[in-house]
């Protein structure tokens, strides 16, 4: 898919990776529909890049309901969805309240799944679209303090692989992005978490967060390239990519086993039920 002239819906757009992605897509000639909780910064970014702001808390399921319909009514058809928003709330898992756990799973997994569910049918009717789900290497490893975050990202990674299988033969591309350490406020919290400080002191004293993290611009460039070339995966840093590939192996086996089978059971691809 050529990005120029396409409309990109991007969640978590107001800062960090999301802000860098918004800037990169704007340079590529895309129109932007920007989603984030922070209304002020979101509107400033949208004004600067010529996009439309859509303030929204992804933890609020009633606000997520109908999001794509509202955006398309205001801004026009959504061609590319980037599910970027995420929260980690890094801490020992028993320190998380029930509300904390729900916020992590709603933001990192349930909201992206619902946005995909809303976005794909109109994409299919128009005959083109691309879904990018931004996951984490924490969905493959089991790092301390990220029990619920890692589980939610593992769910998003598996969902994306299953989604790709059910979309086979249809004009919708998918890209799963699995990231390690990237310079953001969320990653700063990770690097400051006591077990990671101890790990660096005892096991990896040469690790320098300012040097060894993947630049946000590198992530954004890789995602643009993946959409334009219909790549299934972006895995950064590359030295950790084999870990993600190992987890992906059984998913690919499933894809191979069901090759040539009508995985939709004769259902209308857009999800519409026959009367």
Residues 156, 174: Cα–Cα separation, whole Å = 12
Which residues fall within 8 angstroms of residue 156, CB to CB, at 6 or more apart?
Answer: 83, 108, 109, 112, 113, 133, 135, 139
pLDDT surpasses 80 at 210: no
pLDDT, tens digit, for every residue of 213-242? 999 999 999 999 999 999 999 999 999 999
pTM of the model: 0.95
Q: Average pLDDT for residues 15-23, to the nearest whole number?
A: 98
Q: What is the pLDDT of residue 234?
A: 98
What are the pLDDT digits (tens) for 31-79?
A: 999 999 999 999 999 999 999 999 999 999 999 999 999 999 999 999 9
Active-site annotation, residues:
149
* Burial degree of 122 (CB within 10 A; 0-12, 13-18, 19+): middle
Number of Cβ within 10 Å of residue 69's Cβ equals 12
Residue 275 pLDDT exceeds 60: no
Q: Check whether 274 has a pLDDT greater than 60.
A: no
Distance CA 118, CA 141 (A): 30
Q: What are phi and psi of 5, to 5 degrees?
A: 85, -5
Tell me the average pLDDT across 255-266. Answer: 90
Instruction: Quick: pLDDT tens for 101-110.
Output: 999 999 999 9
DSSP state of 75: T
Query: What's the CA gap between 231 and 116, in Å, rounded?
Result: 18
Of 174, 169, 172, 170, residue with least CA distance to 112: 174
Q: How far is 18 from 29, CA to CA, in rounded Å?
A: 17
Query: Quick one: average pLDDT of 169-181?
Result: 97
Please check the confidence at residue 204 and state whether its pLDDT lies above 90: no
For 112-129, how does the pLDDT look when each residue is reduced to its tens digit (9 = 90+)? 999 999 999 999 999 999
Average pLDDT score, the chain: 95
- Selected residue with higher pLDDT from 200 and 237: 237
Q: Name all domains of the chain by residue range, CATH numbers in brackets.
A: 7-257 (3.40.50.720)
In this prediction, residues 178-189 reach a mean pLDDT of 95
């Amino acid at each position: 898919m050529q990005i120029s002239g396409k409309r990109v819906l991007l969640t978590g757009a107001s800062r960090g990776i999301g802000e860098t992605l918004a800037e990169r897509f704007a340079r590529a000639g895309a129109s932007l529909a920007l989603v984030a909780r922070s209304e002020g910064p979101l509107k400033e970014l949208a004004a600067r890049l010529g996009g439309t702001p859509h303030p929204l808390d992804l933890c609020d399921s009633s606000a997520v309901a109908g999001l794509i319909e509202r955006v398309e009514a205001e801004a026009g058809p959504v061609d590319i969805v980037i599910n970027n928003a995420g929260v980690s709330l890094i801490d020992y898992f028993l320190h998380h309240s029930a509300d904390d756990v729900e916020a992590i799973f709603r933001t990192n997994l349930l909201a992206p799944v619902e946005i995909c569910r809303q976005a794909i049918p109109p994409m299919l009717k128009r005959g083109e679209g691309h879904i990018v789900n931004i996951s984490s290497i924490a969905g493959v490893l089991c790092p301390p303090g990220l029990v619920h975050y890692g589980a939610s990202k593992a769910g998003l990674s598996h969902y994306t692989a299953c989604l790709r299988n059910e979309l086979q033969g249809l004009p919708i591309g998918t890209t799963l992005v699995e990231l390690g350490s990237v310079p953001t406020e969320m990653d700063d919290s990770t690097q400051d978490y006591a077990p990671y400080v101890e790990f660096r002191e005892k096991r990896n004293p040469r690790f320098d967060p300012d040097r060894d993290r993947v630049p946000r611009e590198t992530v954004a460039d890789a995602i643009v390239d993946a959409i334009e070339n219909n790549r299934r995966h972006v895995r950064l840093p590359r030295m950790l990519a084999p870990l993600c590939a190992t987890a992906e192996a059984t998913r690919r086996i499933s894809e191979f086993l069901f090759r040539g089978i009508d995985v939709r059971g004769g259902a209308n691809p857009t999800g519409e039920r026959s009367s």
